[in-house]
Chains A and B, each alone.
Chain A
């Protein structure tokens, strides 16, 4: 990423920075005062998560099981793949697009990795590389559709997802690939590293990388600029088509990584089309838009969103609620959270 700024130039602060109007230049604080309401708005979901966790820990019915470390290990390990799929969603979403293919990309990559080991007896490293390459290729394909052929991203990604689902079924015949998966992979999927589920450690590292790219690099800033105003982004020197293409490529790559983690966790490649993975990930990403920088998705917010849904679901199950309760709870939480955020914006505007 080469900066778009010209080679010539000086620091604006070194220039004669007094307004010529003769007025004293207003002394403007860099940051605003953080009021309590502000903090509540930024971290409301996190506080709610803590409240839910405390409630289920304290409840005599769910408490003992909920508090146990076994529950937390399973809970976090189970959510690792969802979190990884959600991370893949973040790149296109930063640029203002929903990518409905991330679940399908993950499913496809897991089939590719499993087939490479099972049907072609390739070593684990090669299988993972092939899976990642598959995701990257699909991402680039969609990037070309959206960035260069100017296709509506909703249609492009939904079409791709449907196509991939069909391809998976054609290849697997609807059967899981269970034979010949490298035990090194499956043991990483269920094992512990330093007392933590290995898969959680891997996803945490992946999240760190995604956070760095989105939050700290020039590329990430350009992505968000496109998401905020694509015309203005072009005029400040963003190569919009290339940046969009890269966003889909990054999404494909991370989606493929999620597929490998899925294979590791399940020990078998699913014949599912991946759509069941998409919706929990979408929920988490949408929840992230009401945390920290309200209105914009983030890695931290997504992590909070994933854990929030998982903790609530686990607690509700342990307390003995029927299975549908957690769906209703999650849906309602999403609606309430987004409604509160919209109300906050409306109130400010009026």
Chain B
């Protein structure tokens, strides 16, 4: 190992799947002791690059992964070699076991100190306590991971990845969207942690969808587009518009979020009227949604925001109260009943609650509407597939053809396909929980415009839960703020701004009004 030169250098990295080249000669050089951000839209080759560097995917012959001056051929690089070379990875799901203590989670990776086959818990706790202290974390080693705040979990995962080597030789720490699942106010703590790790001499490769965050924390930046490097250089002097333009290949104004033109308050009869609605942890709640409105619901985790959507979608039973849709009292005891009344939802956890991963794209899109293609002689699959593919194209889903398995699509394309599914039956009330979580800027903008397209000029409305206040401000006509299961504020017009929403969400228990 030489002491100068780049910490990590990729030379001519290519990767093909079934003859299709997803990465085409990626060259990146990452300077020691810097935070280097890796950006790119869905399908840009960002995840593939990471997996080649981690030794999970074998690159095409010819590529070289050079770590601290030692070259490794990319077509035979293994996870073990990556670890020995000094690469450490913290994946988006962190790889922590919720039911175990922090110390046990450390032990799972570094091994458990033992005597006569029995775990020496005290030694493990002492060792873990040292690591946590070194990381500046005020957490007991005995604490269950389940009890930690989201940002502390991420920091624990980072401390675990860097353990034993702390203070020793510097490492390259690769973080895959570490802030994607964090509440807004915890993001800053994590970014501070990254800066601290950089000061310790580590090199950080940081993958994110959140451009402002990247501009705030990264020294250098690499943008991938269509499997090639579109930009690789210092961050200083770049603006969000520049980065979006590099990611999309379009001029920034084309890719900017389509701002919602504020609509005049309508006097039409409400489409949805909720009164005195109660369930465990929510209510009593009164709210009205008018036709053509996109209404946001903001609140912290546990504020009841997802519960409200679940209740309207028939997933959570109510204890009391009334819900009227278009003047008719409705009692949804199941998602099936809700769908039959014209209430469709796009769930938060796509993999768990929406995906039929092994099934083709078209079947996923027509998953709600398919009974329409039942004929006396069987299923009219040809017509169903044709219409499903058309619907998917109408939602800008990019896929080679309609029969590719759903799981092989990028996150943004999956989300657009789920949106195509939910809107197919023209629901009067569209419920969306974190509609653009983990999707790139372009897909997010598409998703927003599709939501508007669905409600504009129709007798329909949408209710959107999001922890991203920028998204709520851009997407919604009106934002409701929930705290402790109660409606605490309602923001419209000029108040409808990221910082105003953040303020209302984090306000103390006193009612601001």
What is A's interface to B at a CB cutoff of 8 Å?
1, 3-13, 15-23, 25-33, 212, 215-218, 221, 225, 228-229, 231-232, 234-239, 295-296, 348, 350
Q: Please, how many angstroms separate the alpha-carbon atoms of A29 and B420 in the complex?
A: 17
**Chain B residues, CB < 8 A from A22:** 254
Known: A4-B340, A216-B378, A231-B353. A28 touches B392 (CB 8 A): yes
Q: Please, how many angstroms separate the alpha-carbon atoms of A237 and B391 in the complex?
A: 20
- Size class of the contact patch on chain B: 35 or more
Q: Please, how many angstroms separate the alpha-carbon atoms of A13 and B372 in the complex?
A: 14
**Chain A residues, CB < 8 A from B395:** 19
Known pairs A5-B371, A17-B394, A232-B354. 16 more at Cβ < 8 A?
A3-B374, A6-B342, A6-B426, A8-B425, A19-B396, A20-B452, A26-B396, A28-B393, A29-B402, A215-B379, A218-B371, A225-B356, A228-B358, A232-B352, A234-B334, A235-B354
Known: A3-B372, A216-B379. A30 touches B389 (CB 8 A): yes
**Chain B residues, CB < 8 A from A26:** 393, 396-398
B127 lies within 8 A of chain A by Cβ: no
**Chain B residues, CB < 8 A from A31:** 385, 401-403
Taking the closest CB of chain A, its distance from the CB of B465, in whole angstroms, is 15
| B449 touches which of A21, A215, A228, A350 (Cβ 8 Å) | A21
Q: Are B390 and A17 in contact (CB under 8 A)?
A: yes
Taking the closest CB of chain B, its distance from the CB of A346, in whole angstroms, is 12
Q: Are B371 and A3 in contact (CB under 8 A)?
A: yes
Q: Please, how many angstroms separate the alpha-carbon atoms of A120 and B214 in the complex?
A: 83
| A218 touches which of B334, B341, B370 (Cβ 8 Å) | B370
Q: Are A237 and B335 in contact (CB under 8 A)?
A: yes
- Residues facing A in B329-385 (CB within 8 A) are 334-336, 339-342, 345, 347, 352-359, 362, 367-372, 374, 377-379, 385
Taking the closest CB of chain B, its distance from the CB of A82, in whole angstroms, is 27
**Chain B residues, CB < 8 A from A27:** 393
**Chain B residues, CB < 8 A from A217:** 374, 378-379
What is B's interface to A at a CB cutoff of 8 Å?
17-18, 57-58, 254, 258, 313, 315, 334-336, 339-342, 345, 347, 352-359, 362, 367-372, 374, 377-379, 385-387, 389-404, 408, 420-421, 423-428, 442, 445-446, 449-450, 452-453
Q: Is the interface of A mostly helix, strand, loop or mixed?
A: loop
Taking the closest CB of chain B, its distance from the CB of A243, in whole angstroms, is 11
Taking the closest CB of chain B, its distance from the CB of A298, in whole angstroms, is 14
| B402 touches which of A7, A10, A18, A28 (Cβ 8 Å) | A28
Q: Are B386 and A348 in contact (CB under 8 A)?
A: no
Q: Please, how many angstroms separate the alpha-carbon atoms of A306 and B134 in the complex?
A: 64
Q: Please, how many angstroms separate the alpha-carbon atoms of A348 and B403 in the complex?
A: 15
**Chain A residues, CB < 8 A from B389:** 28-30
**Chain B residues, CB < 8 A from A229:** 352, 355-357
**Chain B residues, CB < 8 A from A13:** 387, 390-391, 394
**Chain B residues, CB < 8 A from A225:** 356, 367
Q: Which residue of A lies closest to B361 (CB)?
A: A28
Q: Please, how many angstroms separate the alpha-carbon atoms of A27 and B17 in the complex?
A: 22
